[in-house]
Structure formats: structure tokens, C-alpha cells
């Protein structure tokens, strides 16, 4: 008995393709008597393709010698569909067609039945081939279902991880009396600059989710310095600058692309193009590109945002500072991209107001 012995096994559609009506009738009678209930007889081989697209059979019994279009041409048409679940083809062949039979098997036919048909042989071959195909199709469907479940679970885990990362970013900003909207604006501005550089979507997603942790190191700065309303003393400023290295240490020890970029941004977004930044005094292209991108986005949003210790700058003044620091604080190419489309950055600013 087939592995799938329930009645549904006999519901699978079987195509019988033969230009001889008597052969079609014989096949119908043999298969129906065995219990197969879904037999489609096709006498015109030109109708196989449209019938296939409509009915999706589980097995095709195919004659080779037919006028107008032979069995080989039918097989070529079906192969052109590139269906990953292409049903097996069993060739109906005369005993003196050995060469044709070998050619058909080379083109992908699974088995053959010789004419005149032996009823028991025909039913055995049909049953075995159909049983194997149905099992293969079930395994494939199960595999697709499992893959879908894995994708869904992976997506859930990724979203959970990203939410934790976002909340860590918010925690650092709130300690600094800034708003959560700052990291939203800043990260979206980072993406905009990355897109203008031609980064692929996957890299843009990385910087969107990595940049919110740029100031995570502020968690390690004492309140007396972090929240001081006035100007910091030189030694206090040195302590404040340590937040870049603290952030990098917090994010190290994991080689995922996301945390690698987050660490890169945390430690380099205060470096300056001319080498006067901190913590390492890097200059030019020695500064990671993600850090150079974050520097412009962070400064522009910080300048144009009101804080307890300062008023928001006028838009034109903030733009002027970015322009004036081209090649000094900021990467010249990034400044040019920013200045060429300031309106898009302003739209982000307005869309996520505090």
C-alpha cells in the first residue's frame, strides 16, 4: 500500500496524454477501477501546457509519438516552466522504441510503461511514482512551513533585540536631559546620508539601528558633570569625553554587524576630519565612515534642538556651522551631500519634533 493510503491519495490529479482515443479510454478504465478519481485525458498535446497551468497534476502519463507535437516537445515545454514541484512523467512507449525511451529518460522522465499495457505493471508503476511524488511534495511543504516559522521567529528575535538597543539609546539620552526624539531624528538623518552615499539597504538598516547608541557611554559619566548647567572645567571636560570610550567598552565583545557598527559609531562620532577630535585624534578617512555620518547628524540635530542649558539655534546658523566646518570637523563629501538637500534633513527634524 502507498505511504499515503487514505482516500485523499486517489484524489491526486493524473494527466494521460495520448493522441489515440482508444488508449485514453483504456487508461481511464484501468485507473478508475483502481480508485483514482481525478483523471484528465488529453488527446491534443498542444493542450498539455494550458491544462497543466490550470490543474497542477501530480503525475503525467505521456505518449511519445503524437502528431503536431511529440512527447519530447511536451516535456521541453513543461521543463520551461521551471516548476520546483514538477510532477513526475511516465512515458507510454512501444517495445521497439528503446532509443526514444532512453532519450526521454535523459530529458527527465521518471519511468516508462510499454505498450500494450500490462494492468498490474501499469498500476504498480503509477502507484510507486505517485506515492514518491506526494511524499516529496509533503516534505517540501513541511520544509517551507518550517522555514516560514524560522523566519517569523528570527524576525521576532531581531525586533526584540532592536527594541532593547533602542531603549538603551533612550536611557543614555534621558540621563543627559535630552529627548528620545533626538535619537530618532539623528538615526534617520544618518540613514539619509548613507542613502546619498549609495549604501545598500542592509547597511542603511544597520546604521538606523546602530546610531541610537552613539552616546550610550554617558551612562558612565557622573551626574555632577553630565547634568552641570554651566560650562565644564577642563578636568570635567576630560571626564565627559570619556563617554566615547565607555560606550565602546559597553558594546564590545560581540561580533554581530549591528553591535560592531554601534561600537564604531560610539567611539568615533566625536572625531574630527582635521584630527582635533576625541578620543583618538583620528583624521580624514581614518575615521570610520559610520562615525563621520553620525557626527553631522548628531551635531545638526543638537544645534537645532532646545535643551535646558541652551536655546535652539536658528536653522540658517546651524547650516552655516556645518558649511564652515567642511574639511575641519566634518567629512567634505558628507557636508556637500547635506548642503545639497538640507530640506530633507529639515523634514526629518519637523516630523519628529520634541
Domain 7-146 top-level CATH class = alpha beta
Range with the poorest average pLDDT among 62-66, 127-131, 133-137, 312-316: 133-137
Q: Give the per-residue pLDDT at 95.
A: 60
Q: Convert the pLDDT of each residue in 76-118 to its tens digit.
A: 999 998 888 889 999 988 766 677 878 888 888 988 888 888 8
Q: Give the per-residue pLDDT at 76.
A: 92
| Cα separation, 98 vs 113, whole angstroms | 12
Question: DSSP letters of 178-193?
Answer: --HHHHHHHHHHHHHH
Q: Where are the alpha helices (DSSP H) in the chain?
A: 21-34, 48-55, 71-80, 98-106, 119-175, 180-196, 201-210, 223-226, 234-241, 243-251, 257-268, 289-303, 315-324, 332-340, 342-351
* Residue 3 pLDDT greater than 60, yes or no: no
| Cα separation, 177 vs 299, whole angstroms | 16
Question: DSSP letters of 237-265?
Answer: HHHHHTHHHHHHHHH-S---HHHHHHHHH
**Would 7-146 and 176-351 be classified into the same CATH topology?**
no
219 phi-psi bin (left φ>0, alpha ψ -120 to 50, beta other): alpha
Rounded percentage of the chain residues whose pLDDT exceeds 90: 56
Strands, sheet with 59-63, edge to edge from the N-terminal-most edge strand: 39-42, 14-17, 59-63, 89-94, 111-115
Cell numbers given for 165: 538597543
Q: Give the per-residue pLDDT at 177.
A: 54
For the ranges 19-28, 161-170, 218-227, the one whose mean pLDDT is highest: 19-28
Question: DSSP letters of 192-204?
Answer: HHHHHTT--HHHH
* Residue 230 pLDDT greater than 60, yes or no: yes
Confidence band of 133 (pLDDT split at 50, 70, 90): confident
| Cα separation, 91 vs 84, whole angstroms | 20
| Cα separation, 311 vs 320, whole angstroms | 17
Q: What is the pTM of this model?
A: 0.60
Rounded percentage of the chain residues whose pLDDT exceeds 70: 93
Place of cell 521567529: 153
Domains of the chain, by residue range, sit at 7-146, 176-351
3-state secondary structure of 300: helix
Confidence band of 63 (pLDDT split at 50, 70, 90): very high
- Contact at 8 Å (CB) between 282 and 270? no
As a CATH number, domain 176-351 is: 1.10.3210.10
Q: Please report, to the nearest 10 degrees, the dihedral formed by the alpha carbons of residues 280, 283, 287, 292 taken in order.
A: 110
3-state secondary structure of 290: helix
Q: Report the chain's mean pLDDT, rounded to a whole number.
A: 88
Amino acid at each position: 500500500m502507498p505511504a499515503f493510503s487514505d482516500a485523499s491519495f486517489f484524489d491526486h490529479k493524473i494527466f494521460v496524454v495520448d493522441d489515440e482515443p482508444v488508449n485514453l479510454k483504456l487508461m481511464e478504465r484501468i485507473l478508475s477501477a483502481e480508485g483514482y478519481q481525478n483523471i484528465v485525458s488529453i488527446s491534443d498535446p498542444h493542450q498539455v501546457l494550458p491544462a497543466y497551468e490550470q490543474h497542477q497534476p501530480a503525475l503525467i502519463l505521456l505518449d511519445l509519438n503524437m502528431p503536431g507535437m511529440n512527447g519530447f516537445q511536451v516535456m521541453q515545454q513543461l521543463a520551461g516552466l521551471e516548476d520546483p514541484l514538477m510532477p513526475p512523467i511516465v512515458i507510454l512507449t512501444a517495445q521497439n522504441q528503446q532509443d526514444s525511451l532512453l532519450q526521454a529518460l535523459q530529458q527527465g522522465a521518471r519511468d516508462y510503461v510499454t505498450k500494450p499495457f500490462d494492468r498490474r505493471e501499469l498500476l504498480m508503476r503509477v502507484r510507486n511514482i505517485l506515492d514518491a511524488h506526494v511524499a516529496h511534495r509533503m516534505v517540501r511543504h513541511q520544509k517551507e512551513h518550517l522555514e516560514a516559522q524560522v523566519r517569523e521567529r528570527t524576525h521576532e528575535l531581531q525586533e526584540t533585540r532592536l527594541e532593547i538597543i533602542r531603549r538603551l539609546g533612550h536611557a543614555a539620552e534621558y540621563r543627559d536631559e535630552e529627548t528620545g526624539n533626538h535619537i530618532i531624528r539623528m538615526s534617520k538623518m544618518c540613514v539619509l546620508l548613507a542613502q546619498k552615499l549609495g549604501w545598500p539597504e542592509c547597511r542603511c538598516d544597520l546604521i538606523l539601528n546602530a546610531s541610537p547608541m552613539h552616546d550610550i557611554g554617558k551612562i558612565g559619566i557622573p551626574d555632577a558633570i553630565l547634568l552641570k548647567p554651566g560650562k565644564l572645567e577642563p578636568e570635567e571636560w576630560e571626564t565627559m569625553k570619556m563617554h566615547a570610550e565607555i560606550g565602546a567598552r559597553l558594546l564590545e565583545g560581540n561580533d554581530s554587524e549591528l553591535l560592531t557598527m554601534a561600537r564604531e559609531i560610539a567611539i568615533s562620532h566625536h572625531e574630527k576630519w582635521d584630527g582635533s577630535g576625541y578620543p583618538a585624534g583620528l583624521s580624514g578617512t581614518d575615521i570610520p565612515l559610520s562615525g563621520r555620518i553620525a557626527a553631522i547628524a548628531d551635531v545638526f540635530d543638537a544645534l537645532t534642538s532646545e535643551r535646558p542649558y541652551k536655546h535652539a539655534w536658528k536653522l540658517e546658523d546651524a547650516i552655516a556651522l556645518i558649511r564652515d566646518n567642511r574639511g575641519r570637523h566634518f567629512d567634505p563629501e558628507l557636508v556637500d551631500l547635506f548642503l545639497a538637500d538640507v530640506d530633507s534633513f529639515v523634514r526629518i527634524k519637523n516630523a519628529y519634533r520634541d
